[in-house]
Amino acid sequence: MTDLHPPIDPFESGVLDVGDGHSLYWEQCGAPDGVPVLFLHGGPGAGIAPSYRRFFNPTRHRAVLFDQRGCGRSAPRADITANTTWHLVADIERLREHLGIARWHVVGGSWGSTLALAYGQAHPEHCLGFVLRGIFLFRAQEVDWFLNGMGVFFPEARAAFLDFLPEEERASPLESYYRRLCDPHPSVHGPAAVAWSRYEESCSRLVPRLGENSAAACLPLARMEAHYMMHHGFMDEAQLLRDVGRIAHLPATLIQGRYDMVCPPVTAQALHQAWPGSRLDMVPDAGHAAMEPGIRRAIVRALARLSG
């Protein structure tokens, strides 16, 4: 991945107690006196990875990354107690205050774009701008697309997703998966987590690249995605579009894969139209995943334009 910056280790990391029994792993990379940039991972529940540090210029950016509640190196793992959009927004503010950062750019992809918008609209005074990828606004139509619409293009993946369930439960897959994913027994939630994650992964890239992940690895993502979908993202319908005026004065780059089947381009277009000053970068040869070549190049370019 030569189009990314070289691998880098954090210059600082720690664990932040945010209450409700949750503690968050966080790290800072790059230049301590650089342009502050917050990175929000997807999912919810996916966690951060060392490769995400490589989006940032180590001589220009002060990049802050953290694992959201219940995933990655945060604890307790796969816990949905006190785990809502607004708990995460409050966590971001606690982290900002802990690190002594007055204002920062906010970068997020997929669910990370949802959380970035929710945070920005709640705290615009602490934001410098946004770089958002694979836009997801958590409207009902987007959740329905994930559960049903992707099957138009990936019928075999959706068939496997439904076939995991008893025939009488296939008309309501979200409720059926959620019940299993929240079951305390690994023999119940483990296979459901693998089936859910395999479905999403099958649809995430222009050219699918499937591997086998363990049930333990899949559980935070699957459980939390179902949890947030069951609760409509803990937001009013179309709330993030309704309230975009709160951040419309701030710069934004929207990066979207033309063939993104998880978060279709129509959503990025809707946000771009509601945000007249935003820049929409439609990547012609990419799907949803952040590490597809066209997407990662677009993220690096957008980050290179950031100013303090």
From 110, 113, 202, 278, the catalytic residue = 110
- The H or E element spanning position 64 is strand 61-66
Tell me if residue 3 is catalytic: no
Cβ atoms 15, 76 nearer than 8 A = no
What is the distance between the alpha carbons of residues 149 and 234, in angstroms, rounded to a whole number? 22
Tell me if residue 260 is catalytic: yes
DSSP string, 244-270: GGGTTTS-EEEEEETT-SSS-HHHHHH
Please choose, from the candidates 118, 101, 81, the residue with its C-alpha nearest in 3D space to the C-alpha of residue 26. Answer: 101
- The H or E element spanning position 175 is helix 173-181
From 79, 91, 243, 260, the catalytic residue = 260
Q: How many C-beta atoms surround the C-beta of residue 183 within 10 A? A: 14
Tell me if residue 288 is catalytic: yes
- Could you give the residue numbers annotated as active site? 110, 260, 288
